[in-house]
Amino acid sequence: MKYESRKMIARREHIVETALDMMARDDGEFTMRDLAKESGVATGTLYNLFGSQDALVAEAVGTVFEERVSAMVVLPDSDDIAELIRARNEASFQEIMRVPAYAIKMMQIYFAGEPGSPVRKRLHDIPRAAMLALLEGARDADALEKWVDVDRLADEMVAAQYAVVARWAAQEIDDEQLRQGTTYAALALLAGALKGVQRRQVIDALERPSNSSASEGKTTDAA
């Protein structure tokens, strides 16, 4: 039983890696039949394991962003929530630039997904968890206004940042506007929710000249 379980896990990981390789080529489009042929499994096996192509792609892209971004981000030794958000966003930006097709596919699934879709929920919950941790830290430090619902604010911040990524995927904004825009979207929402020193830090970050943030968010590559 355990052997079969390990074998199935290995097969699933192989399929996900193959899907990621195929997404990184050309326009990133492929069919389940193409994937079955390249991964060496039956098409029916793909559907049995993942349910649908969107679910498979969501797991593949979600895993990449969850694992690689977490590995790349180097948080500053500071309680400045603005700098913490900049650091996480810079890691996300570097991953998007590494293979843009992943982010484009993720936006297609996120915004086209049906309400309540478990696929869309996974893509939402990955960045939400990191955002919620920051907000809970601010709440524990008594830096949030009393009316703030941290769960709701985390959802709104993720949605706002994804909207910026979607504009980039549609080629409405360039790479640097993507880098700056995701941070601005998060900080603009935070500014009204925070109080005291942390609110001042966020406002200072928003008032800072919008030069390239490459030197502000330090990351380390996770090959």
DSSP state letters, 40-78:
TS-HHHHHHHHSSHHHHHHHHHHHHHHHHHHHHB---SS
Q: Tell me, yes or no, whether 194 lies in a domain.
A: yes
Higher pLDDT, 136 or 110: 136
- pLDDT of residue 221 exceeding 70, the answer is no
Question: What pLDDT shows up at residue 30?
Answer: 87
Judged by average pLDDT, the poorest of 4-18, 61-75, 103-117, 190-204 is 61-75
Residue 76 pLDDT level (bands cut at 50, 70, 90):
low
Tokens encoding 154:
């985390």
Please check whether residues 15 and 109 belong to one and the same domain. no
Tokens encoding 178:
């993507």
Please check whether residues 89 and 189 belong to one and the same domain. yes
pLDDT tens digits for 194-216? 999 999 999 999 998 654 444 44
- pLDDT of residue 140 exceeding 90, the answer is yes
Cα distance from N-terminal residue to C-terminal residue, the chain: 33
Contact 36, 42 (CB under 8 A): yes
Cα distance between residue 32 and residue 76, in whole Å: 42
Residue 58 pLDDT level (bands cut at 50, 70, 90):
confident
Please check whether residues 47 and 71 belong to one and the same domain. no
CA distances from 11 to 32, 60, 69 (A): 15, 13, 24
Q: Tell me, yes or no, whether 218 lies in a domain.
A: no
3-state secondary structure of 223: coil
Q: Tell me, yes or no, whether 109 lies in a domain.
A: yes
Please check whether residues 6 and 94 belong to one and the same domain. no
pLDDT tens digits for 146-165? 999 999 999 999 999 999 99
CA distances from 160 to 15, 164, 179 (A): 32, 7, 13
The domain that holds 127 is classified in CATH as 1.10.357.10
∠ at Cα 54 (48, 58), nearest 5°? Answer: 100
Residue 73 pLDDT level (bands cut at 50, 70, 90):
low
The domain that holds 9 is classified in CATH as 1.10.10.60
Judged by average pLDDT, the poorest of 44-48, 49-53, 59-63 is 59-63
Q: Tell me, yes or no, whether 222 lies in a domain.
A: no
Please check whether residues 150 and 112 belong to one and the same domain. yes
Question: What pLDDT shows up at residue 47?
Answer: 93
Domain that holds residue 18: 2-51
Residue 188 pLDDT level (bands cut at 50, 70, 90):
very high
Q: Tell me, yes or no, whether 183 lies in a domain.
A: yes
Mean of all residue pLDDT scores within the chain: 84
Question: What pLDDT shows up at residue 182?
Answer: 94
Residue range 9-25: mean pLDDT, rounded = 87
Please check whether residues 89 and 175 belong to one and the same domain. yes
Please check whether residues 129 and 42 belong to one and the same domain. no
